[in-house]
Structure 1
């Protein structure tokens, strides 16, 4: 008997349940096939479903958070750094989705890997898309995906690996984390997820130049990124890191496309 397809409203219900009680489980959304790494990078994430999520986020931002952010920007004198005459298409659609998801979401299901991955990708994030950062991120992605191409089960060498070799395999993602640490992580996962999402939103304050207005209002400027970050965290846990990267790119494309259309229709003397 084939599995019953998961409807969008089922995902919405599961998302709000996730917000109430965040868990690292993939239940309710996909049936796991293959290794954990294969699910992470190659699990099915239909484009139509990702587009539905993007449309919801765009609608919420245009109806609620957009006007609120505009009011806050006016009150604080904040101005967006975006150069409308030179839109950063590649940075917004490729670089930011990959690097930001690796920094803020990849470790949600791979906390031990993030011990060594985190400092590297955080450095790349603040270095920007220069050639050596791009090359390093590309190498990291290939390295993280490598276990998915192997036919050897991830736990195949668990009985022979001991000591430092076992810990190296755990850090590389080829072995599960120790049970004691896993129980602790599951217990405090909600804190990890929410703090990572808040950090993701706060990072986007860098997109603004600030005036002399009240600083307490500044977090309201990044409410769209906060809500989007919650959806991306849920998607990363349930469907995998590739799905969150894809939705991140789709979401970023909306505002850029809107700005490009407006700029293209305006006379040059108004730019």
Structure 2
């Protein structure tokens, strides 16, 4: 069997791009895309629901857009405002980029996109963990939060909404109306958090959105991926997306260590 054979029911990459663009214009907590283990249960939510190479395709698309379109705009804004990135190329944050950020940020900004009842208590919990940054205490808190996120898998179905995992019928109607706002606020908040990756140095406020334009676009794709495929897929895509640039930097410094001098 070919390694990259498209499973039955899996949309083409072009069809997924069209679906993403339509979704961004009109976000909705609709059904998942066809593919592996499509469904609404917790087990399906944690699966990739697509071959791994399809996630790589999306990562490559995002890298290309950022490299040739959005990153130049962000760099121009940084140069104009005097902002500096905090990344230390001598100490690349592999664990943070590949494990911490994908799990914690996806739970913070996108888990509630399919479970909005958790918006009022789970998101503040995750925000408090995110603010602390990677560490032992915050890691233990994140592990406890993951267990809470998985609670619907074993909690009695008839009582989940009472415990804050499911909305009432009226709550679902209200959330459906407000869903576009929820989706886009989550993407904007995700982008805004990445301003802390920079030393802003009194940068003009008008330039700040350009500085995190790549993260905003990436957040839109990750939000679509979370809703249309599941949390597992958005976490995996997030890790792949973060890992690519770090791997490139690591290879460059390994092959040409003189670039790290000075």
Relative to the length of structure 2, the TM-score reads: 0.89
Which residue pairs with 2:3 in the alignment? none
* Structure 2 residue 117 is matched with structure 1 residue 112: yes
Which residue pairs with 1:208 in the alignment? 198
* Structure 2 residue 242 is matched with structure 1 residue 258: no
1:196 paired residue among 186, 192, 202: 186
Q: Larger relative CO (CA 8 A, sep 6+): 1 or 2?
A: 1
Are 2:226 and 2:234, in contact at CA under 8 Å, matched by a contact in 1?
yes
CA distance in 2 between counterparts of 1:242 and 1:4 reads: 19
| RMSD after superposition | 2.2
CA distance in 2 between counterparts of 1:255 and 1:3 reads: 32
* Structure 2 residue 168 is matched with structure 1 residue 178: yes
Q: How does 1:139-178 map to 2 (within 5 A)?
A: 139-148=144-153, 150=154, 155=157, 158=158, 167-168=162-163, 171=164, 173=165, 176-178=166-168
Q: Paired residues, what number?
A: 255
Deviates more, 1:6-15 or 1:20-29: 20-29
CA distance 1:134–1:212, change in 2 (3 Å)? closer
CA distance in 1 between counterparts of 2:35 and 2:22 reads: 16
Q: Identify unmatched segments of 5+ residues in structure 2.
A: 1-6
Deviation at 1:17, TM superposition (A): 0.8
Deviation at 1:189, TM superposition (A): 0.2
* Structure 2 residue 119 is matched with structure 1 residue 128: no
CA distance in 1 between counterparts of 2:27 and 2:259 reads: 49
CA distance 1:270–1:34, change in 2 (3 Å)? closer
Relative to the length of structure 1, the TM-score reads: 0.87
Computing the radius of gyration from Cα coordinates, the structure with the larger value is: 1
Are 2:38 and 2:229, in contact at CA under 8 Å, matched by a contact in 1?
no
Are 2:37 and 2:44, in contact at CA under 8 Å, matched by a contact in 1?
yes
CA distance 1:62–1:213, change in 2 (3 Å)? same
Q: What per-residue deviation string (whole Å, max 9, x for no partner) do you get for residues 84-103 of structure 1?
A: 10011000110011111111
3-state SS of the aligned residue for 2:116? coil
Which residue pairs with 2:64 in the alignment? 59
Q: What per-residue deviation string (whole Å, max 9, x for no partner) do you get for residues 129-149 of structure 1?
A: 11121112123223423544x
